[in-house]
Every structure is written in structure tokens, then in C-alpha cells.
Amino acid sequence: MASVALKVRKHLSADALFRLVHTGFDHIPDYRPADVDIALPDVLMSAFAMFSLKAPSLLAFDKERTEGNLHTIYGIQRVPCDTYMREILDPVSPKWLRPVFTSVFRQLQRGKALESRTFLDGHYLLALDGTEYFSSKTIHCASCLHRVHRNGSLTYAHQLLGAAIIHPDQRAVIPLMPEPIINRDGTDKNDCERNAAKRFVAKLRQDHPHLKLIVTEDSLSSNAPHIETLQDHDLHYILGVKEGDHAYLFQEVQAAEHAGRVISYERHDRAAGLVHRFRFLHDVPLHASHAEVRVNFIEYWEMGQDKVQHFSWITDLRVTKRHVFHLMRGGRARWKIENETFNTLKNQGSHFEHNYGHGEQHLSVVFAMLMMLAFLVDQAQQLCCAWFRAVWRKLGSKRLLWERMRALCYTYALTSMRQLFEALLYGFKRSSLLIPMDSS
């Protein structure tokens, strides 16, 4: 097999990103007395490694064989046993993980990895959506949401507001730190997605005060208070609306149609056998009760030979015939947060409870955040690491990629992630390749 020179951006290689995450963990204060046998960054990094390697549980690590690799690849001095990991991580407040997400994001910015992902006039498309990733009748912690059923029984649950930079033409997504939707004070007073969105947006602007963003969400978010929150934080939006939930808006659109104020536009895609039909108008009130909140409206029909799909959105962006098609694609790309982002959490998390543990305070949330952080680092590699991409291409699926990665990790002593990728690409003995490093 001919060796291939792969271009690697050294600050965005897997090894560099793992070091960056480790450095972030080094700054998290340890709540324990000074003389501890395993340092907090080691415990956090072990949990990160578990999610990074997609190990089904801590017990799946054969520690005898893997500890050396966790040391060389992930920089972990001492690996805790699973009980100890749960015990140490349970009191750690998830808020300490935020700077680690931000530092990985900044590294992507510095490496110019995000530039190709701008959607419109230098703005990125940011999808927000709530999801539930855990529920149980029996297992619970102080952070669990409580759902009381008619018969008086309780279901405990964990939800989060997820956020990811998406692009209609690109598979990779860049998740930001999610906002947990949790029971704040150990009582049965539930948090909700709307409050979580307010907290999320405020923190987003603290972390990224100048980032140009267009937020895209489903129709639950199309309400005046939320739109005001977005506007207060200098965020544009493309939000879904539904006739059933926004009857007043649709009546206003109908009235505007009769008055000749609505613009229609059609585009034919003969190759795909589709007709794209739009109608849009500007400056229409969203609710009768909030006449001051005025929005632009887009309605869209994708008409195939035997199927019609229908969508509608509101936006603060100016809509023209020239770019209504592009805006529609941005609105439709929202599904990527479900399919590309939450699925990772859910596929791995289907046995989340059983495999990783719940804790009494924050453990469940800390694990969910670390899983999302590992996913962010995976996505960064997918975008920027030629080695990762070459191995992925060769093996054909990520499932196989993670399987082979774990198998090698459990079997051989490795010095770095790059060596692991080289071994997967060329076989274990062959490792002398010319890798030009660029300094971006």
C-alpha cells in the first residue's frame, strides 16, 4: 500500500485536543482536602476517555492492559475504579466544564476550522433544542425533574437544552456546552426549557460576545418572550411556526395575501423532480397580545411527484426571492441537532443509567456533559484531522472505527492517538510516514 502524506493541523489533532481538554480539567478546583490519591483531572479525564473510546462502561476497560494507553494517549496518571470515579465526580458542579468546551471551540476558531461553516453574511447557524436523555421510576438524584402522574406515581427525568453549530451542506456539527434542565434546589420545583434557554443565551454571550449567530429552533420556541430574549442578546433567528399553534399569525398572513402584500416565488428542480414553492411577507405581528413583536414569515412547499412537504418559519432576517431558498435550507437543517447530536447521547445513553451510574447530586449531569465534550472533540477531528478522516473512510463507519480503536487500545501499547490511527490505516508494524505539520 502506498503511503500517503496527510496534512494535519497540529493544534487540532486528536492528541493536541486531548491535551487541551486535560489542561482545562487542570483548572477545575478540587473540593477535596489536599492529600488525595487520585487527582481530580485524572478522574475527569478517565470519564472523558470512557466516552471518547465509546466504552460501554468503565468495567469494560481491562485496566491491566489499558492503563498504559490511558497514560500515554489521554495523559492520565492514575485511573480510578468505577465506584471511585462516581464518588469523586458526583459533587462536581457541571458549570466547571464550560471553559473546557469554550477552549476547544476557540481552538477551532483559531485553526480557521469554522470559517467554511458560515451560513449567511458571516453568521453561523446555531440549532437549539431540548431533549430528555434519562427517565426512571426508581433511580433519582437531587437534580432529577419530577413528573407526577394521575395515579400519584412519580417519574424522574433528566433533560437538557442542546446547542450545536450546524450547516445545511455539512455533516459535522459543533456542539456547545448544553444547558441542563434540572431540579434546581432538590425540591420538586421543576426547571423548564424556556428558563434553560434564557440561561443558555446569557452564558453564550458571556463566552462568545461577538460571535455572529442565527438561531434556529422548532415551533415551541416561537413566542414573544423568547424572541425578545434572542433580540436582547443580538441573536438573529429562523424559528418554526405551526398553524395550529400560531393561528393569529396565519390569519394575518391570509389577510395580507388578500391585500396583495405577500410575495410568491417558485423554483423548479427538474433533475430531482421537485418544485419548491414559497410565499413570504415582512413585518407581521406574531401574537395578538404582543403586537410589538413583528416578524417576517416564510411558508414553503416541497412538491415531489407523489409527496408534498410543508414548512413555515418566522425570522428577523430580510427575505428576498434571491435567498429565500437558502433561508429555507437553514430552517430545515434544524433536524441535525436531533439526528447528528442527540443521537450520539441517546445511542450511547440507552444504557446510560445501567453503565455509568446516576449519583445523588450532579453525577448524571456531569457524565452527560463529558459525553457531549467527547462528541465535540470527535467532531473537531472529523472536521480537521486527516488521520481520523482517512481511517473513517477506510473502515466505512464510525461504529467500526470505535470498535477497532478500542480493540487496539486493549491489545497494544501505544504512544499517541496518531500512532493508533496509523496502525488502523496501515497495520501495526508500519508507522514511519511523512506527516507534514502546518502551524495553523
Give contact residues for Zn ion (rule: CB under 5 A): 141, 143-144, 364
Whichever of 141 and 172 has its CB closer to Zn ion, that residue is 141
Task: Encode 37-58: b = buried (16+ Cβ within 10 Å), e = exposed.
Answer: ebbbbbbbbbbbbbbbbbbeeb
Around Cβ 245, how many Cβ atoms within 10 Å? Answer: 13
CB of 426 vs Zn ion, minimal distance in Å: 45
- β-partners of residue 159 are 132, 181
88: left (phi over 0), alpha (psi -120 to 50) or beta: alpha
**Minimal distance, residue 181 CB to Zn ion, in Å:** 11
Buried b (16+ CB within 10 A) or exposed e, 128-158: bbbbebbbeeeebbebbbeeeeeeeeeebbb
Tell me whether residue 348 or residue 364 sits nearer to Zn ion (CB atom): 364
Contacts of 205 (CB under 8 A, 6+ apart): 233, 234
Min dist. Cβ of residue 140 to Zn ion (A): 5
Instruction: Give the number of other CB atoms < 10 A from CB of residue 267.
Output: 13
Q: Which is nearer to Zn ion, 143 or 344 (CB)?
A: 143
Q: Least distance (Å) from Zn ion to the CB of residue 155? A: 11
Is the Cβ of residue 146 or residue 282 nearer to Zn ion in the bound state? 146
CB of 145 to Zn ion, least distance (A): 8
Q: Position of cell 444547558?
A: 179
- We find the least distance from the C-beta atom of residue 193 to Zn ion, in angstroms, to be 17
Query: Which residues, 6 or more positions from 199, have their beta carbon under 8 angstroms from its beta carbon?
Result: 179
Nearest residue (CB) to Zn ion, 191 versus 378: 191
Nearer to Zn ion, 143 or 222 (CB): 143
Neighbouring CB atoms inside 10 A of 232's CB total 12
